[in-house]
Structures are given as C-alpha cells and as structure tokens.
C-alpha cells in the first residue's frame, strides 16, 4: 500500500506532499511523492499532517491512581492490571504506539496480553520491577524493611554485586525487555536526596553485565552528577531525569552514545499542581528545588548534541494521567528551546533508540509502519500534537 500525505514528518525531516510506501506492515520507503513508488492500495491522506507514531520512553504502566507511593503498596494487583489495560488504550488513542515502562509490577503481563491480541494497546517494552539499593530511591523508607525488600512498591532491593547480579537475572527470567536501576536518590522517596549517588561501581557493573549479556539495555534513574557519571562509566544506556548535568556528564554522554530521557512532564505537573493532588510534602519540596536546574540541564544537553528522548514519567493518576503524554513534546518546545521538528524527532527517532527493537522509531525503510494523522500542523499550533485523529500500527488503521 502507499499513503499520500499533505505534510509528512518522517522523524528526521518534514516533507510537503510526502508519501509512505508500506509492505507487510513495514515502511519500504518514505519521501517526496514523486520519488517514492506506489505499490498496491492507495490511502489518501493528501490533505493531512502525518507523523510517525509517538514513543513515550519513560512511563509506569502500573495502573496507579494516587501520587502517594504508600497507596501503591496497598493497591490490589488485579485491579492495578485492569487499570493499566485502560491506560494502554488511552495511550494508543493519544498516538503513542510504543511505550517503555520503567517500573511496574503488572506491565509485563499487560504487555503479554497486548502481544497476544487479547487487549488493545501500544507496543510495550517493560523493565518489570526496578532495582534499588536498600534506603535508595526505590525503597519505601517509612515501612519495615522486611515488608518491602522483595518488591512491594515498584522496586526490588538489592545490595552487593552478587545480589544485584541475581536480581538482574530474575528480571531476565521474568521476561523484562530492559533493566531499570536507581543510581541516585529521588523526589518521591522520603529520606534520600536527588544529588546522592546510590549503588557502588561494582553493583552497577554487575547489573549492566547481566543485562547486556541477554540483550537488555539498562536505564538508570539518575538526577545528581555523581550518580549520572557512575551509571555512564559503567555502561548504562539511558539516563532518566538528569537534573544536574555538569560538563563531565555531557562529555560522557557523547563518548558513550547514551540517550537522555529528562521527563520534564512529571516535574512540571508536580511543581505547578502537585499540592492539589496528594503529592507528599517531601516530593513537592524536592521537585521545586530541582526544577530550574532541570530545565537548564536539558538546554545544555540539547546544545551539546546529546540525544534527548521524550518520556513523561506518567503513572496514571489525574495529575500524571496516561493519554496526556504529548505534554513532553510541548515542554521541549515551550520551555527547552526545541523546534517542533526536533520535538517530533525526540518522540520518534530518538525515543526509538531506548527500546531493544531496531524497527521502532521514525518512518525509515524497514521500520514498523506506525503513523498518525494529526488535526493540524503543530508548527502552527502545538495543540495539534494532542489532536490525534487516526492511528495506524503495522500499516493498519486501528483508531
Ligand atoms: Zn519513573
């Protein structure tokens, strides 16, 4: 089939009067209409703005409906899974055809049900439970240790290189696609600070070695510079949040070709609306303290040429609901100096780098034919990013 478009964002460029040629659900070619062959059935979107399907490279498909991690512990798992299925449906309607879940106790099961065609949703790549040190960002500091060490919230605790290696192997055994570790403290954890480094070099190296051996990329929650460097020096593939990037961090990004996933959206929502939505006091305080540095980090990384991928860190409750994930593209444009074309590239070609499947990304030959029809040109009105009118996956219209 071939799809004639009005304006075509391929994920690396914008083409007027574009065409996508599709065979067996994959892109064969995309470019100007007169330069691309026209095989089979004709789909006429010649008056429309078409982009690749969006990728959210950092979210939690865990069916949460509260911002208080204490509630996540008590959530019924079956109910959480059912809510995560509803969230997956919302993501698809919002044009997110691929998502990377980086911490959830239900997402691997939801992924399997989507892959089996039982329920509708985006392509899901999941880490399963993330891995934190005791007293680290994934620990629930206010509860008895023995209640949480096996993974009561979104993390399993591990200490020492051997235990870290074992927990990484458990994730592989469960069918995780990526490994998620925590090399600094964070905002929603009670007793640590975003600037504190967590895990030792030996612990990080052990987890990265185990993950890479079985083809899992490693994502690290890392906010302060020492923990970002520890992650990058030990082979981590993506840095999540990155509030306090210094020059050394930027050099390491370029040296290692790692991807930065800043997650501006959750920080923006916590800072601007968090006190109306039950965010714990320590979370509000730490988010406000880091917010300015965070935007500066993104601008500096952008100027330095670090690959920056869209990730919202949305979880499900009203403050950070799945379905509003285009907020990350809007913030990159409005607050971090990206052009609209660059933001679309971040949400497609660049975000595709974060998942272990080379066919996810922009509309390049060989990639999945996942694309969207927007309600207008986002270069004229950013709201068009949220006005998704049609969604195609594998070349088939599904919304
Ligand atoms: Zn997260």
pLDDT tens track for 177-216: 999 999 999 998 888 989 999 999 999 999 999 999 999 9
- Name which of 89, 116, 111, 112 is nearest 100 in CA terms: 111
Mean pLDDT, residues 271-281 taken together = 92
What's the start-to-end Cα distance of the chain, in Å? 18
Sheet of strand 179-182: strand arrangement: 155-157, 130-132, 179-182, 218-222, 238-241, 259-261
Q: Does residue 149 surpass a pLDDT of 90?
A: no
Residues 6+ apart with CB under 8 A from 303: none
CA–centroid distance, residue 329 to ligand 1 (Å): 17
**What's the pTM value of the predicted model, to 2 decimals?**
0.97
CA–centroid distance, residue 237 to ligand 1 (Å): 16
Band of the pLDDT at 147, cuts 50, 70, 90?
Answer: confident
Task: Give yes or no: residues 25 and 124 share one domain.
Answer: no
CA–centroid distance, residue 263 to ligand 1 (Å): 8
What number of CA atoms fall less than 13 Å from residue 59's CA on the CB side?
37
Task: Give yes or no: residues 14 and 130 share one domain.
Answer: no
**What is the rounded CA–CA span in Å between residue 371 and residue 75?**
35
Task: Give yes or no: residues 229 and 339 share one domain.
Answer: yes
Task: Give yes or no: residues 187 and 286 share one domain.
Answer: yes
Task: Give yes or no: residues 116 and 18 share one domain.
Answer: no
CA–centroid distance, residue 265 to ligand 1 (Å): 11
Report the number of distinct structural domains present in the chain.
2
CA–centroid distance, residue 103 to ligand 1 (Å): 7
pLDDT of 245: 97
Task: Give yes or no: residues 140 and 261 share one domain.
Answer: yes
CA–centroid distance, residue 243 to ligand 1 (Å): 13
CA–centroid distance, residue 264 to ligand 1 (Å): 11
CA–centroid distance, residue 62 to ligand 1 (Å): 11
Q: Does residue 171 surpass a pLDDT of 80?
A: yes
**What is the rounded CA–CA span in Å between residue 177 and residue 154?**
16
Q: Does residue 164 surpass a pLDDT of 90?
A: yes
Mean pLDDT, residues 2-12 taken together = 98
- Give the residue numbers spanning the domain of 377: 2-52+362-397
**What is the rounded CA–CA span in Å between residue 217 and residue 393?**
24
The pair of structure tokens assigned to 263 is 């997650």
Last residue of a domain, one of 354, 372, 387: 354
Mind listing the pLDDT tens digit for each residue in 351-391?
A: 999 999 999 999 999 999 999 999 999 999 999 999 999 99
CA–centroid distance, residue 163 to ligand 1 (Å): 23
pLDDT of 154: 77
CA–centroid distance, residue 11 to ligand 1 (Å): 25
Burial of residue 304, with CB atoms counted within 10 A of its CB: 0-12 exposed, 13-18 middle, 19 or more buried: middle
**What is the rounded CA–CA span in Å between residue 156 and residue 222?**
17
Report the CATH number at residue 120: 3.20.20.140
DSSP string, 157-200: E--SHHHHHHHHHHHHHHT-SSEEEE-B--SSSSS--TTSB-S-
Task: Give yes or no: residues 170 and 295 share one domain.
Answer: yes
Distance of CA 213 to the CA centre of its chain: 23
CA–centroid distance, residue 311 to ligand 1 (Å): 9
Q: Which residues surround ligand 1, an ion (CB under 5 A)?
A: 313
The pair of structure tokens assigned to 204 is 């990080």
pLDDT of 146: 86
Report the CATH number at residue 378: 2.30.40.10
If you ran DSSP here, which 8-state letter would residue 53 be given? P
Mean pLDDT, residues 31-46 taken together = 96
**CB count in 10 Å sphere of residue 337:** 13
CA–centroid distance, residue 58 to ligand 1 (Å): 6
Task: Give yes or no: residues 204 and 100 share one domain.
Answer: yes
Whether the Cβ atoms of residue 94 and residue 100 lie closer than 8 Å to each other? no
Q: Does residue 150 surpass a pLDDT of 90?
A: no
Task: Give yes or no: residues 217 and 71 share one domain.
Answer: yes
Average per-residue pLDDT in the chain?
96
Task: Give yes or no: residues 130 and 261 share one domain.
Answer: yes
pLDDT of 152: 76
Task: Give yes or no: residues 32 and 62 share one domain.
Answer: no
CA–centroid distance, residue 60 to ligand 1 (Å): 6
CA–centroid distance, residue 313 to ligand 1 (Å): 5
Task: Give yes or no: residues 27 and 164 share one domain.
Answer: no
CA–centroid distance, residue 279 to ligand 1 (Å): 15
């Amino acid at each position: 089939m071939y799809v004639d478009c009005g304006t075509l964002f391929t994920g690396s460029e914008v083409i007027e009067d574009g065409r996508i040629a599709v065979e067996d659900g994959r892109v064969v070619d995309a470019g100007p209409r007169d330069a691309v062959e026209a095989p089979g059935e004709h789909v006429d979107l010649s008056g429309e703005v078409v982009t690749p399907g969006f990728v959210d490279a950092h979210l939690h498909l865990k069916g949460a409906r509260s911002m208080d991690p204490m509630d996540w512990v008590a959530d019924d798992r079956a109910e959480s899974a059912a809510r995560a299925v509803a969230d997956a449906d919302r993501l698809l309607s919002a044009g997110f055809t691929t998502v990377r879940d980086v911490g959830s106790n239900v997402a691997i099961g939801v992924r399997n049900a989507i892959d089996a065609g039982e329920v509708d949703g985006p392509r899901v790549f999941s880490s399963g439970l993330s891995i934190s040190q005791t007293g680290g960002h994934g620990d629930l500091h206010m509860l008895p240790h023995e209640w949480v060490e096996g993974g009561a919230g979104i993390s399993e605790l591990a200490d020492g290189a051997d235990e870290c290696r074992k927990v990484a192997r458990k994730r592989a055994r469960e069918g995780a696609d990526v490994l998620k570790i925590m090399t600094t403290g964070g905002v929603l954890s009670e007793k640590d600070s975003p600037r504190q480094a967590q895990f030792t070099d030996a612990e990080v190296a052990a987890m990265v070695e185990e993950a890479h051996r079985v083809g899992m990329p490693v994502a690290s929650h890392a906010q302060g510079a020492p923990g970002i460097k520890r992650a990058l020096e030990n082979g981590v593939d993506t840095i999540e949040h990155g509030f306090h990037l210094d020059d050394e961090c930027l050099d390491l990004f370029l040296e290692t070709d790692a991807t930065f996933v800043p997650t501006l959206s959750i920080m923006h929502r916590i800072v601007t609306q968090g006190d109306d939505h039950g965010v714990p006091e320590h979370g509000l305080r730490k988010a406000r303290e880091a917010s300015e540095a965070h935007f500066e980090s993104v601008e500096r990384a952008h100027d330095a040429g670090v690959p920056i991928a869209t990730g919202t860190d949305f979880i499900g409750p009203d403050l950070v609901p799945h379905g509003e994930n285009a907020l990350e593209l809007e913030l990159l444009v409005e607050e971090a100096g990206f052009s609209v074309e660059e933001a679309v590239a971040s949400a497609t070609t660049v975000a595709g780098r974060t998942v272990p499947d080379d066919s996810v990304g922009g509309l390049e030959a060989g990639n999945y034919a996942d694309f969207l029809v927007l309600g207008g040109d986002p270069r004229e009105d950013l709201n068009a990013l949220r006005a998704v009118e049609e969604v195609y996956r594998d070349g088939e219209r599904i919304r």
